[in-house]
Each structure stands twice: as structure tokens, then as C-alpha cells.
A and B are shown apart, each in its own frame.
Chain A
Amino acid sequence: MPLVLEKRAERSVAIAVASPLAATALTLVTMTLLFAIMGINPITALDVYFLEPLTDSYSLEEIAVKATPLVMIAVGLSLCYIANIWNIGAEGQFIAGAVAGSSVAVHTLGTGAGSWVLPVMLLLGAAGGALYALIPAVCKVRFGASEILTSLMLVYVADLGMDYLVRGPWRDPHGLNFPTTGDFDPVATVPTLIEGSRLHAGSILALVVVILVAVMLGRTIMGFEIRLVGTAPKAARFSGFSADKLVLSTFAVSGALAGLAGIIEVAGPIGHLDPGVSTGYGFTAIIVAFLGRLNPVGILIAGLFLALTFIGGEAAQISLKVPRDLTNVFQGILLFYVLACDSMIVYRVRLVGTPRKALHADH
């Protein structure tokens, strides 16, 4: 019997709340099956993935460290996605920001430059990400190029560009030919919050970003514009808002946040620029944005959850001898279920031939 997707008369509020929870539950069920097929006791595996990291302070700090870039990028991306603008290239903007900010650190390395270095790095990081994001935005506005493709392709351009710099002009002369810059000076490093821990001030900044964007979306005319363009483009034009300007501004803001996340990551937990600075934060942040329902507070929670899977995945590599790719599989399955469950907010599934009478009972 064929299935049909039917538009609901009104969006279901209950499902809007339940959707991320249902998606998480379905992911856990699928992962359980996957572990079982791999011959690993699913209960042990889930315990290693999700519970053990919550039991010691080191793992908790690491979760915050991982969540910081994810939340920062995802909050920016959510602005694009709410406005129906598809920036898929946050990974490239993250790298562009990391490179732009690092240029200062590399050139002042060992010169005894003052405390101005870090603020300038952060500013340049944000500017670099924003400018890099404006490339697909301008292409879309001027030539009608699909921002999905252009922003995605520019990820690889940024990646290879950074690769060239750390293997060429910026390579540490004392680095035994490894493709990395020298370790940044203390003035070019984001301060840690707890002595001896990797938890750094960037996490505070991510929280500030969450609050600012939440206020902006809910309370300001700018947030209204973003939501209006996303939900009713013709009405937005009638309201006097320009869709083109919004493409430019949301790309710039999301690029700036991704770039900021990039330079914070480099100048914080890593301390130098090397080809491995991003473990796909820009892509994982897309999952975070949707799992968080494109809502800044939701994104904060989703970011912490996804960070947990990274930390759990690392633990699983060690204790269960499973490949790191399993974490990517996990995240992919999660995004799949989130999108599937989300479509149930607006649509419902109906079996063709089922009398509709029964379905109207829930009105």
C-alpha cells in the first residue's frame, strides 16, 4: 500500500518539540543494531559513548572545548537556514578565519609584541571568515549561482590554501619539516579558564554569541527580517526587505562566526596552525543547527550533545577498538533522522486507501 505525505492544516507543536528527541532515540536504536552487527555488546558501547564521558571532569571540560566551535558556527548557520539561504561552506570559512588570524601570530612570533596581538587575531579571524563567505554570497546575488555548490566547493579551496601555507611560507623552521607553524606566543593564545585545563575563554564567547543571537532573532527588526524572508519571501518584499541584502548579510555574519571559531580553535586548544586544525567542525555544525531546531538555545544543547559523541567516539576507539569513522556514521544517521522527523511537523504520513475519517479524529 503506497504511502503519501500530506500537508497538515497547522504545524504540530507537539511534534516540533518531540522531533529532536525522537530522532535521537531512533539514532540510538540504529546504533545499537550497528554495534550488535559489529559483534560489540551494545550496552557496553552505549555506556562508553554516552555515559562515561559525563563521569569525569576532564571529559566534561573536553566536551565544552569541542562544543565551543560547533555552537559558534551553528548559531551563524542557523541565521542563513532560517532565511532559506544555504551556506554549506562553514568549514571553509572556519579555515579562512584560522588562516587570517594566524597570519598575525606567525609574523609576530618571537618578536615580543604586546597584548594587542590576540584581539587583532580575533578581529582578523572574523573578517577573514566573513570575506570568504561573501564570495558565494556575491556569486548568488550577481550571477544567480547556487550557494550550496559554491560555498561547498570553496571549502576545498580553503583547505588546500592552508595546506600550502603551513607546508611553505609559514612552516616552522625548527619544526623538523612537519607541516605546521611554530607554537604561538602567549600573547597570541586564548587564555584558559582553569589552570592546567584546555577549557578556554572562547567557550564564554560562544555563550555570549548564543545570547546575542537569541535576542536578535526574537526581539529586533533584523531578526524579524530574517524570519520573514525565510517563511514568506513575497511578503518580505512587500515589507520592504531586500532578499539580496539578506543573502550578503547572513553569509557575512555566519562566515564571521565560523572564522572566529576557527581562530579561537587555533589560538586556543591547538596553539599553532596545522592541516588538522578542523576535524570537520563546519560540517558537523550543520547537524548541530538542525538538531537544535535553528534556535540558539537549542543549538547550545545540540552542540554539547554532538561534542559528547566526539569524546565518546575517542573513548570507544581506545576501549572498544572501533574506527573513528563510526562517529561520522553516527552523526550522519542522526542528521538523517532529524530531517525525517522534522518533516512530520508540517506533513503527516497516510496510507493511500485509508479512510480519512480516522485521521480527522485527532483534530
Chain B
Amino acid sequence: MSNVLSNAVQTGASPAKPLLSAIGISKRYGDFLANDSIDLDLQPAEIHALLGENGAGKSTLVKIIYGLIQPSGGELRWKGRKIALAGPSEARAFGIGMVFQHFSLFENLTVAENVALGLPPSQPFAAMSARLAETSRVYGLPLDPKREVWRLSVGERQRIEIVRALMQNPELLILDEPTAVLTPQEADQLFIVLRRLKDEGRAILYISHKLEEVKRLCDTATILRGGKKVATCDPRQESAASLARMMVGANVGQVKTQSRHAPAVPRLVIHRLSLEPDDSHGTRLDNVSLEVKGGEIMGIAGVAGNGQDELFAALSGERSLSAEGAIVIDGQAAGRMGVNRRRRIGAAFVPEERLGHGTAPRMKLSENALLTGHAASGMVKKGFIDRPATLASVDDTTKAFDVRKAKRDPEAVSLSGGNLQKFVVGREILRDPGVLVVSQPTWGVDAGATAIIRQALIDLAARGSAVLVISQDLDELAEVADRIAVMFRGKLSPPLDAAQATRETLGLLMGGAGLEGADAGRSELFPAGKEARHAAGP
């Protein structure tokens, strides 16, 4: 490995000469400037953060560097020489690799087959497979080449993408929000790998909006806002607040914790809920029990794919249960109720997927207001849609949640992620629900929208509602939740008091530490299912 890298190491010796320079890069879509003369220098042996809110132009810039998009203006220089990239394969030929946020893996193929599909077909499969095993061993990214992808966790899937990129021996590796799907421990492991790549002389362009992480990991940070470069700085010399100010352009609204009512009666009760998955890749819910009281925000932490989707479907009524009493909303057994009957007794739901689940992408906002409002909000009279009422509802949400949009009633798909999320959350909160279940409330949402949404959740709880937040973002749960329970392989740990739950404790639970091993004290954190009890029996 080391001989092929000598090139990179040599350039690393003279930091004055950047590995890659972007000079005055612009990208115009019609009237919209996604990138406005951005300059960026990437040095060898440097972890360079690209910081910015959603829509700041980060993705556009890295896609230009990776050859996916042609810039409208400006130029790229590789080791001082001007280059033009017609496509990602040319970028890879120069030594630029990229790991995307959304993996492009075939679930039913093995690790080795997936890697082979992403590489030029020049090498025999067996040799490639051996090289894959070698690379994963050398970098401490353990992978079994023969395993099917659907059996792997998200962290393992990301390893495939990283190993696939490393097998091309890149001098510059671009990572798009790599820790969004990882547990804190998995993220720490990733950082070790990234530091090692840096020590080998490679440059890393690290896209993120997690400020603490950037401060811990990166040597340099370039901050984008509204398509323009705001600053290049050393993140270790900055505070999280100063970085956030540069990203957002103003002081970020701090979420205010209200003095809560003394938690009163439970408004949402989950009692011994078990549910088979509806497809072979799903997770079985195993004897889940939980109480959420009025005035309280309960957080459910966990790595994606551990039963959160199934729990949401069971709570919303999209999957009905056989046991009426497994879910109780405000004292009414709701297990067999459909989603609309649950809405009528005061429950509201915000699914993880904004487009396609929470909204119909190609329908107008007013029709998307109707989507959840038709059952309980007086938008339908004798079967006829009250259009003024649906429009008024859009206007109310727009005003209360500062939803920015080009016209009064656009299609949902035309809104940016943050604005659509504000609409989806606002649509439910304005109905003043007694019970709100929300999944990944600020997933991929900019800092401004995040603050508004989290504040709205806190205010709703302060008015006496029970709020259940399912999230993979521990920072988010630490900020809003009163208590946090962890989901792992379909089981739910007893809730921990948020003030006392450390990242380490939660991280261990998220990794299933409470289930595996002989530590009897810990295993109590997950109520044992039948199998576990048998295993522990005499």
C-alpha cells in the first residue's frame, strides 16, 4: 500500500502547493446561483471540513469536485494543473474518491459483489475479493466479503462504501455527512480511520453540519452560506457558537426549556407491544412497554433499523394491532384503531420521511394539509373539500413556522428540506394534539429550522401534551427530551432520566451492550424476550 501512496506523501512535504484548488467556482441554475465564485484549497494530509446549512451549496460544490456536475464558471486545479472533469470516472482516475450520504448498495448482493460493481471490471473477481479483505484489514474496517448487504448494520454498510473508495487509492476522499447514521462509538471508530488516512498523506473533504464533530476532527473548515464562501478558519480555534454564527449569518436561536408542569397522568401508554415485521428485512417488535406523561418529552434513541419504523407504524395505526390495549391514547385503548380514529381522539404523527410518507411530493401544500387534516380538522364537508379551509391551514402553518416558499400553494416537492419539515411538523402541532409522535424531527434540516422545530416540540409539551420523539441524533434528544429510552433489535430499554444519561451509556445501549455478554446487571436494561430468558435459564 505504501508504495502507491508515495506520490501523495511527497506532495505532503510541501504544504504550500495544494492538492486540489477550486478557483472561483460558480454554478447557476436559471436565476439561482447554487455556488457563487467559491475558492477552496485542499492540502495533502489535511482533514478539511465543509460546513453549511442545507441549501448552502455544499453538495453542489462537492459534486463539481467529483465530476458529477459541470461548473458554470471557475476552474479546478489538481496539483497546480488545470483539469476538467467530464464525469466521476475521470475524477476517480485523478485520485478523487467519494462516499455518499445515501449508500448505493444492492441489498441482496454480497459485500464483494457490491464492491466489484463499483470498480472498473479489469480485475478477476477472486483477486478483487482478496484485495477487499486486505484493504479492510489494513484500515481496521472489518468486513466479511461473502456476507449479503441486507444483513449488515448501517455502520457496516458505510464501511463498504469507504473500502470501495479506498481500493481506488484516492489522494482526496470526500465524505458527505458520514456520521449522520452512526452511533457515537461507531463515529469514534470512523474518526480513527480518517486520522490514519490523513497520516498517510491523503486529503479528506469532510461535509458536516455537526459543529462539535468538526472541532474534534478537522484541521481546516470552509464555511458556506447561501452559495458563497463565508470564511476559511481553523475550527479548533473557534467556538461552536462562532461557527454556527458564520453558518447561519445571525445568532442561532437557542432552544428555551420551559419550566415544565409536574408530569401528570400518562397520555400515551404502550403496553407489551409485540409486532411481526411486514417484510423479511424488517425488525420484530418485542414486548415494548412505555408510558409518556402529559407535559413530558420522551426520546427514543437507537441506530436506524432497530425497530423504530415498526414502532412508528404501530403507534400511528398504519399497522393495526391485534391487541386493543397495547396502545392507549388518553385513556382509550387504541390498538385496533386506524390512523384517522387515533387522530380524532387527539393524536398526531410526523413520520421520518418527509417526501412520499409525510407528504405527497407532487401535490400542493393545501392538499397535503388535507392529507392528515381530512379526518379531524373540518376541511371536508359532506364529502366535499373545503378549499378555503385547506388554504387557510397552509397560511397558518406558513406564518407560525416561517415556511419559506415561492408561491402561496406550491407542490410539496418544490420546498427545501427544512421548509418542508417545518410545514409537516407545523401542520400537526397547530392541531394542538394531546399526543404527538414524531420520528427524526430535524433529519437533514438546517440549523434555523431545527431550532424552530425543537422549540415547538418543547412548547407543545409545556402546554400539557405528551410528546414522543424517535431520533438517531443524541444531541437532539439531549436538547429536548426529559427521559430517553433506547431501541435495539426491536426491544426498548427502560427510560433513563435525560439529565443523567451520558453519551457513553446511551451509546452502549444503542450498540446492544445491555443484551450481549454476561453482565447481568446491564442485561436488565432491556426487558428480556422469551429466547433470552430461556438462554439465561438453568
Contact = CB atoms under 8 A, between A and B. Distances in A.
Nearest to A240: B340
Interface string A208-246: 000000000001111010011001101111111000000
Nearest to A215: B384
A238 B357 contact: yes
Contacts of B351: 238
Interface in B328-363: 338-340, 343, 349, 351, 353, 356-363
A353 B90 CA distance: 13
Q: How large is the interface on B (under 10, 10 to 19, 20 to 34, 35 or more residues)?
A: 35 or more
Contact of B318 (A224, A231, A238): A238
A235 B385 contact: no
A357 B363 contact: no
User: In the complex, which of the residues B29, B316, B351, B384 has the most CB atoms of chain A within 10 Å of its own CB atom?
Assistant: B384
Contacts of A363: 29-30
Contact of A240 (B375, B383, B384, B385): B375
Contact of A237 (B318, B380, B414): B318
A356 B69 CA distance: 8
B372 interface: yes
Contact of A238 (B72, B371, B383, B414): B371
Interface in A83-112: none
A11 B360 contact: no
A151 to B, nearest CB: 27
A56 interface: no
A234 B359 CA distance: 9
B121 to A, nearest CB: 18
B356 A235 contact: yes
Interface in B155-203: none
Nearest to A227: B363
A268 B372 CA distance: 46
Interface in B23-51: 28-30
Interface in A330-363: 353, 355-357, 360, 363
Q: How large is the interface on A (under 10, 10 to 19, 20 to 34, 35 or more residues)?
A: 20 to 34
B70 interface: yes
A221 B382 CA distance: 9
Interface in B259-294: none
Nearest to A216: B383
A178 B253 CA distance: 87
A231 to B, nearest CB: 5
A10 interface: yes
Interface in A229-265: 231-232, 234-240
A231 B360 contact: yes
Nearest to A352: B87
A221 B356 contact: no
A330 B289 CA distance: 65
A82 to B, nearest CB: 12
B132 interface: no
B370 interface: yes
B361 to A, nearest CB: 7
B296 interface: no
Nearest to B390: A224
B385 A232 contact: no
A232 B383 contact: no
Interface in B364-421: 367, 370-372, 374-375, 380, 383-385, 411, 413-414
B461 to A, nearest CB: 23
Contacts of A219: 384-385
7 contacts: A221-B370, A231-B361, A231-B363, A235-B371, A238-B316, A239-B372, A240-B340
Interface of B: 28-30, 69-70, 72, 86, 316-318, 338-340, 343, 349, 351, 353, 356-363, 367, 370-372, 374-375, 380, 383-385, 411, 413-414
Which are the 7 A-B pairs with shortest beta-carbon distances?
A232-B360, A240-B340, A363-B30, A240-B339, A235-B360, A239-B371, A234-B357
Given A231-B361, A232-B359, A360-B28, 4 more contacts: A232-B360, A234-B356, A240-B375, A357-B72
